[in-house]
Amino acid sequence: MSRTISIEPVTRIEGHARITLQLADTGEVEDAKFHLTQFRGFEKFCEGRPYREMPALTARTCGICPVSHLLASNKACDDLLAVTIPPTAEKLRRVMNLAQLVQSHALSFFHLSSPDLLLGWDSDPATRNIFGVMRQDPELAKSGIRLRQIGQSIIETLGGKKIHPTWVVPGGVNEPLPEDKRDVMLAMLPEGLRIAKDTYAFFKNLVPKFKDEASHFGTAPTMFLSLVTPKGNLEHYDGLLRIKDAQGRIVEDMVPPRDYRRIIGEAVEDFSYMKFPYYKPQGYPRGIYRVGPLARLNNAEACGTPFADVALAEFRTLQDDTGPVTSSFHYHYARLVEIIYALEAMQRLLKGEDILDKRVRARARGNRYEGIGVAEAPRGTLMHHYKIDDEGLIDWVDLIIATGHNNLAMNRSIKEVADAYVEGNNLQEGMLNRVEAVIRCYDPCLSCASHAFGQMPLAIELKDASGQVVDRLVRE
């Protein structure tokens, strides 16, 4: 008889999710699904609100990456105003985005994934947690705390508070940067860079140990989507969209974010509240792609900062051939490269001559009925798209979240890992932990990714005490 294994809740991720594995009579994995079980509905309840409220409203989507929503939302509002924000404002926004990237990547690597990486997937689940890491390598745990603190402190220094700062506004930022605050931030960065380099060196030596996991953790071919600079380099705040295929060929390039709907479609399934974006020209579900640090590094010609470029060259050697790095396991590696980049880039920006310039905000009223803002969140490309009426009230909202872009890939990855490790007739905890761990590679933020898309298809299953489905109600 076929059986269903449910892993719930999926631990050490942001939000609530479930994984189900459908086993055949033989014990082999027939199907695997990643279910987002919570419903938020931001796209719907933002309707009718003044567009200037959108940055504050949408930042509440998440307590871990509010800065990403704040920036994408304000960029969409800049577009509604039809203004070009002052150059210094753009640089200050960039610093905040990079600080967000540092703290978020640090949380993912040091606190969520390091128990698996340091203690092993088959270690005792009772101690396979942050406390196990602290016992094994307290300095590594302290490094994670310090890097997060540096990222959060820079966000707080710029924005006035760590969570949900309101300093970024439509048209720029609401206050210029005082010299003393600039100096405080600059003083933190050398320590952060030292920690980041040390951690990178440590992990680079550890990676060969995970050859087996790297060869099964999401290696199926997909495309990669990210922003790049006009020169094709690493970009997190602005730029143009690029898509590479699994062989490294560029299939879309220099696509203005305003045209994202030409290349990105959104599908829904009845087993999850998360949408399934796909590459429109290839259709659903064939148009599968990944976003986030792995995609950004695969798509970039260069990072543009000294040490990050050395690390990028080493990152590329993770792949045996000359194509993109395909294993989702290497999201971890890519995060460490990006932390180095972010710290180097912040130093460069803060040392710039015009960073203290007083002109930091363009003022205007709504001049367009439609605004689109795209930025790179730590987890990948984040898209905010608003339409407003004559009164400036929101008519329609579409949010395409980084974690959503990865939805198809995450579902495929758990099937791949389950195929490789799960024996239905001899179930071991370490097998299921690997299924969870591949999801952690993507560092999904499910609080961000659960949204309404018109009428969600919904399936309700009634199971008897033995787990047999006795009734099923489906709303298409």
**Stretch of 86-94, 134-142, 226-234, 308-316 lying at the interface with another protein (CB under 8 A):** 134-142
Q: Which amino acid is at 199?
A: T
Q: Which is nearer to another protein, 3 or 60 (CB)?
A: 60
Q: Which is nearer to another protein, 72 or 228 (CB)?
A: 72
* Chain centre distance of CA 403: 6
Structural contact between residues 80 and 386, judged by C-beta atoms closer than 8 angstroms: yes
Q: Which is nearer to another protein, 263 or 445 (CB)?
A: 445
Q: Which amino acid is at 5?
A: I
What binding mask, one character per residue, do residues 158-187 give for another protein by CB under 8 A, x or -?
---xxxx-----------------------
C-alpha pair distances (Å), 313 with each of 192, 228, 306, 326: 21, 17, 11, 15
By CB under 8 A, is residue 310 in contact with another protein?
Answer: no
Report the nearest approach of another protein to the CB of residue 152 (Å): 6
Q: How many residues contact another protein, by CB under 8 A?
A: 33
Whose tokens are 């970039």? That residue is 300
Q: Which is nearer to another protein, 62 or 374 (CB)?
A: 62
**Stretch of 19-27, 76-84, 126-134, 454-462 lying at the interface with another protein (CB under 8 A):** 126-134
Q: Is 332 helix (H, G, I), strand (E, B) or coil?
A: helix
The 3-class secondary structure across 140-189, one letter per residue, is HHHHHHHHHHHHHHHHHHHHCCCCCCCCEECCEECCCCCHHHHHHHHHHH
Give the Cα separation of 401 and 453 in Å (integer).
13
Helix (H) or strand (E) holding 118: helix 114-119
The 3-class secondary structure across 230-251, one letter per residue, is CCCCECCCCCEEEEECCCCCEE
**Binding test (CB under 8 A) with another protein, winner from 4, 31, 83, 130:** 130
**Stretch of 133-141, 320-328, 335-343, 365-373 lying at the interface with another protein (CB under 8 A):** 133-141
**Stretch of 13-21, 207-215, 224-232, 379-387 lying at the interface with another protein (CB under 8 A):** 13-21
**Binding test (CB under 8 A) with another protein, winner from 3, 33, 52, 60:** 60
What binding mask, one character per residue, do residues 435-474 give for another protein by CB under 8 A, x or -?
------------x---------------------------
How many CA atoms lie within 13 Å of 203's alpha carbon, on the beta-carbon side?
26
By CB under 8 A, is residue 111 in contact with another protein?
Answer: yes
Give the Cα separation of 215 and 53 in Å (integer).
46
User: How many beta carbons lie within 10 A of that of residue 112, not counting itself?
Assistant: 18
**Binding test (CB under 8 A) with another protein, winner from 44, 142, 249, 368:** 142
**Binding test (CB under 8 A) with another protein, winner from 7, 14, 216, 374:** 14
By CB under 8 A, is residue 50 in contact with another protein?
Answer: no
Report the nearest approach of another protein to the CB of residue 138 (Å): 5
Give the Cα separation of 471 and 277 in Å (integer).
30
- Contacting positions for another protein (CB under 8 A): 9, 11-15, 60, 62-64, 103, 107, 111-112, 129-131, 134-135, 138, 141-142, 144-146, 148-149, 152, 161-164, 447
